[in-house]
Chain A
Amino acid sequence: MKLTLRVWRQKNADADGAMSTYEVDGISSDMSFLEMLDTLNEELILKGEDPVAFDHDCREGICGACSLVINGEAHGPERTTTCQLHMRSFKDGDTIDIEPWRASAFPVIKDLVVDRSALDRIIQAGGYITAPTGAAPEAHATPVPKPDADFAFEHAECIGCGACVAACPNGAAMLFTSAKVNHLNVLPQGAPERETRVLDMVAQMDDEGFGGCTLTGECATACPKGIPLVSITSMNKEWLRAARKAAKR
Chain B
Amino acid sequence: MARTVWDSSVGKKTVMAVSGLIMLLYLVAHMIGNLKIYFGAEEFNRYAHWLRTVGEPFMHYEWTLWLIRVVLVVAVVAHAVSAYQLSRRDIKARPDKYVHKKPRASYATRTMRWGGVILGLFIVWHILDLTTGTVHPGGFQEGRPYQNVLDTFSTWYGNVIYIVAMLALGLHIRHGFWSAAQTLGAGSRTRDRALKTVANILALLLTAGFIAVPVGVMTGVVS
Which positions in A face B, CB cutoff 8 Å?
A: 6, 8, 19, 69, 71-73, 97, 99, 102-105, 168-172, 199, 202-203, 205-206, 209-218, 228, 230, 232-241, 243-244, 246-247
Contacts and interface: CB of A to CB of B under 8 A. Distances in A.
12 contacts: A8-B99, A99-B100, A104-B95, A168-B94, A203-B8, A206-B7, A212-B9, A215-B178, A230-B187, A237-B184, A237-B185, A247-B1
B175 interface: yes
Contact of A211 (B93, B179, B186, B187): B93
Which 6 pairs of residues, A with B, have the shortest CB-CB distance?
A237-B185, A211-B93, A247-B1, A171-B93, A170-B90, A72-B102
Contacts of B13: 212-213, 236
User: How many of chain B's residues touch chain A, expressed as a range?
Assistant: 35 or more
Given A99-B100, A202-B9, A211-B94, A233 B1 contact: no
B4 A246 contact: yes
Contacts of A236: 10, 13-14, 182-185
Interface string B154-195: 000000000000000000000100110111111111001000
Nearest to A97: B100
Given A212-B90, A214-B90, A236-B185, A97 B9 contact: no
Contact of A172 (B93, B104, B186): B93
Contacts of B58: none
Given A104-B95, A171-B93, A240-B14, 8 more contacts: A8-B99, A99-B99, A99-B100, A211-B89, A213-B9, A213-B183, A230-B192, A243-B1
Contacts of B90: 169-172, 211-212, 214
B112 interface: yes
